[in-house]
């Protein structure tokens, strides 16, 4: 099981929305010439919220340990990368096979690849919505981390001058 610490941000029924810290893959992210650092700055530093099964009854502001089965991560990664690429290749081959002339074969192959890639992403979206609700693919709150719960203060309208 893959585990990480997170903070519970919101509760809905037996589902907790947790925010995990983003961890760098290296210690050099403060360098401006690092490609990962540039990408992280472009995409923003705010970590997204993840849904986790809250069988433990964690409360908002608590630090918790969230876990996900390795097999679920492997299958999700396989779906995310493999199927769009397979659809892309299948579309390219189909486009090339449907071309009338040798001159049109390259254009039809490219068009088929684009259509196949889009179809792969659409199929992935439908499939992930269906299997994403299965318990084995959902993260679970495993335990609480010691210490007092964090308090959140919402500021609306920004700072006054």
What is the arithmetic mean of pLDDT over 131-159? 67
CA distances from 59 to 9, 31, 67, 118, 135 (A): 9, 37, 17, 41, 21
pLDDT of residue 152 exceeding 70, the answer is no
**pLDDT value, residue 161:** 47
Q: At 52, which helix (H) or strand (E)?
A: strand 49-53
Model confidence pLDDT, tens digit, residues 12-70: 888 888 888 766 556 555 555 666 666 666 656 667 788 888 888 888 888 888 888 88
**pLDDT value, residue 41:** 66
Provide, rounded to the nearest whole percent, the portion of the chain with pLDDT above 90: 16
Model confidence pLDDT, tens digit, residues 79-96: 888 889 999 999 999 999
CA R_g for the chain: 22
pLDDT of residue 127 exceeding 90, the answer is no
- Pairwise pLDDT comparison (78 vs 28), residue with the higher score: 78
What does the mean pLDDT of the chain come to?
Answer: 78
């Amino acid at each position: 099981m893959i585990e990480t610490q997170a903070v519970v941000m919101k509760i809905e029924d037996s589902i907790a929305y947790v925010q995990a810290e983003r961890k760098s893959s290296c210690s050099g992210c403060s360098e401006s010439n690092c490609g990962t650092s540039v990408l992280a700055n472009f995409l923003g530093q705010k970590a997204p919220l993840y849904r986790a099964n809250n069988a433990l009854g964690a409360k908002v502001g608590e630090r918790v340990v969230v876990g996900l089965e390795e097999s679920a991560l492997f299958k999700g990664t396989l779906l995310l990368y493999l199927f769009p690429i397979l659809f892309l290749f299948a579309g390219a081959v189909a486009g090339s096979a449907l071309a009338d002339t040798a001159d049109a074969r390259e254009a039809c192959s490219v068009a088929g690849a684009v259509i196949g890639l889009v179809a792969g992403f659409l199929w992935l979206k439908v499939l992930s919505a269906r299997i994403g609700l299965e318990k084995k693919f959902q993260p679970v709150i495993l335990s609480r981390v010691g210490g007092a719960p964090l308090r959140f203060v919402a500021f609306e309208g920004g700072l006054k001058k």
